[in-house]
A and B are shown apart, each in its own frame.
Chain A
Amino acid sequence: MQALYSAPETLIRTPSHYCPGCGHGIAHRLLAEIIDEWGIRGKTIGLAPVGCSVLAYNYLDIDMCEAAHGRPPAIATGIKRVHPDNIVFTYQGDGDLAAIGMAEIVHAASRAENITVIFINNAIYGMTNGQLAPTTLLNQRTTTTPEGRDPLAHGYPIRICELLATLEGTSFLARTSLSSPKNVSQTKEALKKGFKTQIEKKGFSLIEVLSPCPVYWRMSPVESLKFIEEEMTQTFPLGVFKDWEKAISAPGGQATKV
């Protein structure tokens, strides 16, 4: 008998600390699959953020570094400058990347730092019990916006891909989602493209992944996938915003349909 499908070797078989229905497990697995398929385990160095995925190194059998909140792009810069031929990626949530770490991500992008950023956007602070994130949708209820996000009081959601697309230093920017098998497989393709960008030394790549957080969205896992498709993508349209291979450049943020 021939095994047609098995867990990737790079994915460590251990009980998950993530909540039921969370998207992190899928994103981790996609990363592990790519590392296995491309045989790059010995060259890859990952950065775990502060947030739910702080323990990402419990699941990925590669060299990894834990980062202070928001600082993965700065630490990745330091690592990449020492090992320019290694593949260095950061794995960051929306609080880490778009709130406390906004300066680091914008400047790493503007320097065309040759790293890949995996940006998990679930529009909420999961680890600290569901507070407002910079990507929380308008009217979305969180523990710190109990009546819903009011733009006059809490500001508007930040669109990272659109924002970074205005920078000449970015080479590949895409937004995907984990809401369906098709979208999961497009996410994997986008992640591959991010790594390819780095391997070919084309500069900064970021893949924003819309990911479910059923527990703090107060929804069932199935409802949360529907929420991504029907609500989140209204504010965060899927697509490719920058692609050095296809000369897609979208200053101001118009996405090209994938």
Chain B
Amino acid sequence: MKSSNNKKHLLTGNEAAAEAAILAGCRHYYGYPITPQNELINHMAIRMPQVGGTFLQAESEIAAIYMAYGGAAAGARVMTSSSGPGISLMQEGISYLAGSELPCVIVNVQRGGPGLGDISPSQADYFQAVKGGGHGDYHNIVLAPASAQEIADLVYDAFDLADRYRNPVMLLGDAQLGQMMEPVEFRKTPRTHQTVKRWALTGAEGRARNIVKSFYPVKGELETFNIRLQRKYRAIEHEEVRYEEVNTQGAEIILVAYGTCARICKEAIRRASGTGLQIGLLRPITLWPFPKEPLRRLAKKARAFCVVEMSAGQMVEDVRLAVLDRCPVHFYGRMGGGVPSSREVLKKVLNILAPEGTLELEIPEIPTELGKGLYFSTIP
């Protein structure tokens, strides 16, 4: 595909991520095949040579993350991608990236687990992505797109955030978002901001040497370093929280969902319109830092929250931590590749409003302009 970024392209989310990375100035990609992210690695294999970049199929995800580490240490914009088991293998390297304060963009196209699981959509890597995942006290910045378009948009931001904070950034998608084809318009002038990397390894010509490391064996040094890392994380929490609110004004029930589940919740809201049900949605776009404040604000007015995830309930813990006892937090989830339908979400909402089952509702069919049988509505 030629990058003429002023028209719409029909792309899978995986391809959109790859193409946006190239437009954002990434010229070094390292990856390893795993479904459901193969469109990304395949696209990079075609495009990187065309733009004079490096595409390398590593011998493992372990090697891929460390090749990315090397490219980052050398001062380049680097990307790697994988799914479930492969992302698990990368965790050591991601901890090293955080510990060495190296910028790197990692795409996780989530699939069902645990173990080999399956290749269908899942959101069960949430804990791994937002709580650290590897060893030590660290955070990835985690971005959660909900469409191919948003994948493209957030990839630019991911590189900027990685460079600005010298921190790994994870784009947390899933098999649905990665493999579904949607129209994508790339930014005409990417707002990418390349920083000067004086710390990078380039050969110490005419300057004092640089060392990239995460090893602090002298007593006290590591604690000092950790305190500095935590200060950085507080700054990120202060500056970088992103979310979208839909219909939250006067909503009785606030749905909280990200990615694919957020689109399903939007569909549920649309289907409930005109029925008298007041349902809103808070969609975190950054999963870390997590939008705690907006949730606390909504907790003052809403009757209850309902978190919808393709997991046994992971993000719901962060929602509960954010609102504490100010408001009840319910959960609806599907696991192991199960994708909730908007009808299931509405049934759960009815059940929250009237647990004894007295509240019944004729759930209208999906509006015809979206087409019969379409699961997902487009994000405006």
Contacts and interface: CB of A to CB of B under 8 A. Distances in A.
A82 B54 CA distance: 8
A78 B202 contact: no
Nearest to B72: A78
Interface of B: 28, 30, 54, 56, 58-60, 62-64, 66-76, 78, 92-93, 96, 100, 201-206, 209-215, 217
A13 interface: no
Contacts of A43: 203, 205
A66 interface: yes
Given A63-B211, A104-B63, A78 B78 contact: yes
Contact of B63 (A48, A54, A62, A74): A74
Nearest to A12: B209
Q: What is the size category of the interface that chain A forms with chain B?
A: 20 to 34
B215 A83 contact: no
Contacts of B75: 82
Contacts of A248: none
B201 A78 contact: no
A63 B67 contact: no
B69 A75 contact: yes
Interface in A13-64: 41-45, 48, 54-55, 57, 61-64
A68 B67 contact: no
B215 A54 contact: yes
Contact of A65 (B67, B73, B78, B204): B73
Contacts of A74: 58, 62-64, 66-67, 69-70
A190 B304 CA distance: 72
B29 to A, nearest CB: 10
Contacts of B62: 71, 74, 103-104
A215 interface: no
A63 B201 contact: yes
Nearest to A107: B59
Contacts of A41: 204-205
Nearest to A47: B70
A86 to B, nearest CB: 5
A167 interface: no
Given A75-B66, A79-B201, A66 B28 contact: no
Nearest to A48: B213
A41 B70 CA distance: 19
Contacts of A61: 204, 209
A79 B59 contact: no
A81 B54 contact: yes
